[in-house]
């Protein structure tokens, strides 16, 4: 992830909710935080009071610890009222890991974009003991460090089934342009892309609230990656398009409730920062590709910091996203190296 220092964003709360607690960020809207076992060590979730029950937006990792904390929140700040709907903004497991638990144990209706639901179901069913040949080939094509490649080839890969409760069949679809009522407000649904396909965001018609999931975050840029499921994808194009599309909707007083970090105001500036950040990265990358390089050889210019072992996988898929974007735009050429890696070079060079 790219890290920036926003200069004009404001943070109404400087500390997050306590373990098992919640902060009311607006009338009838609770901000809840769950731990994650990774460098980005938390995820923000939200509960909206519908009067006779709650709508929960995102659910955390599908772990026993998370469900124990949820039980504390349900019996405490949420006052024992039933969860009638659960919404997943996107299909990543820190956001949908307990969706199935809310459906089966609490009888909640699942609300989701179609692509998010399909990805969540597909990835949950796609359990692997070792990386398949396609994954190894994809890693080679990205220029993965040979030692890391050899190590990962022998390890059980990351499986959704290990950290996500099984999802029963059935959901209610939302899509671009829909309007949904929750928390005593009407919300316009605007769909983003890039970090995850068909990522849902919610914009209140009645006050200054935006629930952005991971589509818009303060202080960090959402990871934008290419994966073996669609190795020729250009998620950066979709993400930049969504940011540009959201700009006319954004107001300085919008309180943005994101999936990580702290709620903030200053949305127009933040969107412009995120857009400019990636255009700057692409300019640096074009300069770097005056000489041929694989995706893995672009970390230093894209991230401007050392990438550790814990960040290597996310950095690799984000590097692929950036070189794919330039290649599909026609700004660079590529050819296969003897080790199986694609190497990219700016047109007119070499």
List the chain pLDDT tens, one digit each, 350 residues: 444 444 589 999 999 999 999 999 999 999 999 999 988 999 999 999 999 999 999 999 999 999 999 999 999 999 999 999 999 999 999 999 999 999 999 999 999 999 999 999 999 999 999 999 999 999 999 999 999 999 999 999 989 989 999 999 999 999 999 999 999 999 999 999 999 999 999 999 999 999 999 999 999 999 999 999 999 999 999 999 999 999 999 999 999 999 999 999 999 999 999 999 999 999 999 999 999 999 999 999 999 888 888 889 999 999 999 999 999 999 999 999 999 999 999 997 76
Q: Which pair of structure tokens corresponds to residue 108?
A: 């909640």
C-alpha span between 245 and 64 (Å, rounded) = 39
User: What does the angle CA 29 – CA 31 – CA 37 come to, to the nearest 5 degrees?
Assistant: 155
**Global pTM?**
0.95
> 23 and 158 in contact (C-beta within 8 Å)?
no
User: Which residue in 55, 13, 274, 283 sits closest to 182, CA to CA?
Assistant: 55
State residue 23's pLDDT score. 98
CATH no. of 23-129+159-288: 3.60.15.10
- CB within 8 Å of 91: residues ≥ 6 apart: 115, 116, 117, 119, 120, 123, 196
Residue 66: alpha-carbon gap to chain centroid: 19
Compute the chain's Rg from CA coordinates: 21
State residue 5's pLDDT score. 46
State residue 77's pLDDT score. 98
With H, G, I as helix, E, B as strand and everything else as coil, classify residue 342.
strand
State residue 310's pLDDT score. 82
Sheet containing 23-26: order of strands: 23-26, 29-35, 42-49, 54-57, 83-87, 109-112, 172-173
User: Which residue in 52, 16, 48, 11 sits closest to 270, CA to CA?
Assistant: 11
C-alpha span between 246 and 239 (Å, rounded) = 11
User: Which residue in 97, 133, 96, 128 sits closest to 112, CA to CA?
Assistant: 96
Which residues face 300 on adjacent strands?
Answer: none
Sign of CA dihedral 167, 201, 36, 158: positive
Helices (H), the chain: 64-75, 93-96, 99-106, 114-125, 133-141, 146-153, 160-163, 235-246, 267-288, 299-303, 312-329
Residue with tokens 């700004």: 331
Q: What letter does residue 339 receive in the DSSP assignment?
A: T
| CA atoms lying within 13 Å on the CB side of residue 309 | 5
C-alpha span between 287 and 257 (Å, rounded) = 36
């Amino acid at each position: 992830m790219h890290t920036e220092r926003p200069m004009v964003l404001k943070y109404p709360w400087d500390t997050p909710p306590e373990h098992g607690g919640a902060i009311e960020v607006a009338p009838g809207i609770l901000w809840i935080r769950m731990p994650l076992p990774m460098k980005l060590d938390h995820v923000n979730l939200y509960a909206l009071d519908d009067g006779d029950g709650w709508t929960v937006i995102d659910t955390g990792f599908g772990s026993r610890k998370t469900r124990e904390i949820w039980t504390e929140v349900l019996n405490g700040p949420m006052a024992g009222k039933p969860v009638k709907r659960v919404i997943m903004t996107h299909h990543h497991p820190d956001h949908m890991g307990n969706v199935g638990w809310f459906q089966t144990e609490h009888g909640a209706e699942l609300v989701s974009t179609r692509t998010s639901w399909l990805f969540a179901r597909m990835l949950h069913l796609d359990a692997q003991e070792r990386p398949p040949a396609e994954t190894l080939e994809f890693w080679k094509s990205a220029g993965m460090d040979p030692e890391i490649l050899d190590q990962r080839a022998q390890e059980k890969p990351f499986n959704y089934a290990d950290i996500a409760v099984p999802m029963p069949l059935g959901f209610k679809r939302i899509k671009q342009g829909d309007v949904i009522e929750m928390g005593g407000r009407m919300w316009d649904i605007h769909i983003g892309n890039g970090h995850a396909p068909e990522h849902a965001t919610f914009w209140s018609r009645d006050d200054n609230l935006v629930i952005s999931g991971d589509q818009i975050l303060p202080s960090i840029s959402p990871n934008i990656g290419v994966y073996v499921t669609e190795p020729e994808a250009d998620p950066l194009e979709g993400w930049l398009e969504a940011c540009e599309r959201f700009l006319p909707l954004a107001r300085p007083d919008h309180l943005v409730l994101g999936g990580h970090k702290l709620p903030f105001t200053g949305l127009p500036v933040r969107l412009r920062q995120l857009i400019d950040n990636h255009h700057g990265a692409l300019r640096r990358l074009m300069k770097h590709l005056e000489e041929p390089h694989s995706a893995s050889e672009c970390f230093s210019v894209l991230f401007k910091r050392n990438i550790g072992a814990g960040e290597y996988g996310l950095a690799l898929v984000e590097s692929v996203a950036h070189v794919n974007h330039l290649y599909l735009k026609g700004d660079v050429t590529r050819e296969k190296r003897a080790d199986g890696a694609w190497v990219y070079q700016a047109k007119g060079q070499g």
